[in-house]
Amino acid sequence: MAIFRRYKVQKRQQRFRLHMVIPVLLVACYVISSLPASTGMPEVQTFLRDYVYLPTHFTDFWHRPWTLFTFFFFHENPILLLINLGGYFIFSSLTSNLLGRKVVFPLFILGNITGAVFLVLLTSLPFARALDIPAYTCGSGGGIMALLLASTFYIPLKVVRFYGLFPVKLKYVGMALPAISIIFLVAGKFADLQLQYLGGMLSGMFFATAIRRGNVHPGSLKPVKKKKRIVPVLHGPSQPGKSTVKTEEEIVSPQEYVDYLLEKILRNGMDSLQEDERKYLDNYSKKL
């Protein structure tokens, strides 16, 4: 039972191997956006505002729809950049271990795009006039929130060191951040960022829900047949009260699948595993 002993003692995630394209792009784009202040090139900042940053008003966005795919690579505030980089390292690692590396980049992009659409649409509503929303915005907070909510949905009891400072369960982070965004929004503080955050959270939640329902199938996810006991039915006078078992399939992450197999071993022994399940455990142990 080398796999069980190794998993029980270590019980750690696979090594994070996602290529560091996004952090490099975020840092490089920040350097570009900060050039005007240090080199006396105001035309660079003008170009970014006119053609790269996201217009928050629908009439302006209508004429520059490509900014939907460019604004989130840029940050004007270095503190906000550091916060987003820290969040990306934490939650992209969790998402990569749960759903596979190929999911991280699309989910990050989806979260930012959803956050932008959420911002532009709500800015066009009458109540938005009371909010202090700038004419343009940038930042990748929506993508970070999408990764966070996807991770929280799958492993709510996972304890992480939030930005390396203190341990906290993901479910509390997933509950606290939406509440904080709403409070800031009501108070009129950083309204554009809060709307992006809320939109990104929605996309992460819907993405995770779609996976659970089988509408999205990342390559690393594996269907697991779980037995669910239903109401006993009679099969004749000689077998009164005999219960039947219904088998259902559920799409789970690799970590959840290993937990399921180990629980199966604890209940029924190693012989209860099928051949493909044994091979899966062997391959998983080699990656630890």
More confident: 212 or 151: 151
- As annotated, the residues of the chain forming the CATH 1.20.1540.10 domain(s) are 15-212
Handedness of CA 74, 80, 44, 132 (dihedral sign): positive
More confident residue, 130 or 13: 130
pLDDT over 90 (residue 70): yes
CB proximity list for 52: less than 8 A, separation 6 or greater: 67, 70, 71, 74, 138
More confident residue, 32 or 154: 32
Residue 278 pLDDT class (50, 70, 90 cuts): confident
Over 50: is that where the pLDDT of 47 sits? yes
Q: What angle do CA 66, 71, 72 make, to 5 degrees?
A: 125
More confident residue, 230 or 160: 160
What per-residue confidence (pLDDT) applies to 218?
A: 59
204 vs 258 pLDDT, higher one: 204
Mean predicted lDDT score pLDDT of the chain: 77
Highest-confidence segment of 177-181, 215-219, 261-265? 177-181
β-pair partners for 245: 229
Q: Write the pLDDT tens digit of every residue in 128-176.
A: 778 888 899 999 999 999 999 988 887 787 787 766 667 888 888 888 9
Most confident of 95-109, 182-196, 208-222, 235-249: 182-196
- pTM listed for this prediction: 0.71
CB atoms under 10 Å from CB of 240, counted, come to 9
How buried is 9 (Cβ within 10 angstroms: 0-12 exposed, 13-18 middle, 19+ buried)? exposed
The CATH code of domain 15-212 reads 1.20.1540.10
The pLDDT value recorded for residue 136 is: 92
Candidates 42, 109, 114, 104; CA nearest to 73 is 109
What is the DSSP secondary-structure string of 34-70?
A: THHHHH--HHHHHHHHHHTSEESSHHHHHH-GGGGGT
> What is the average per-residue pLDDT within 277-288?
72
Could you give the CA distance from residue 142 to residue 280 in angstroms, rounded to a whole number? 35
What local confidence, expressed as pLDDT, does residue 253 receive? Answer: 64
Do 133 and 123 touch, CB atoms closer than 8 A? yes
The residue that leads in pLDDT, 39 or 198, is 198
- Please count the other Cβ atoms lying within 10 Å of the Cβ belonging to residue 221: 21
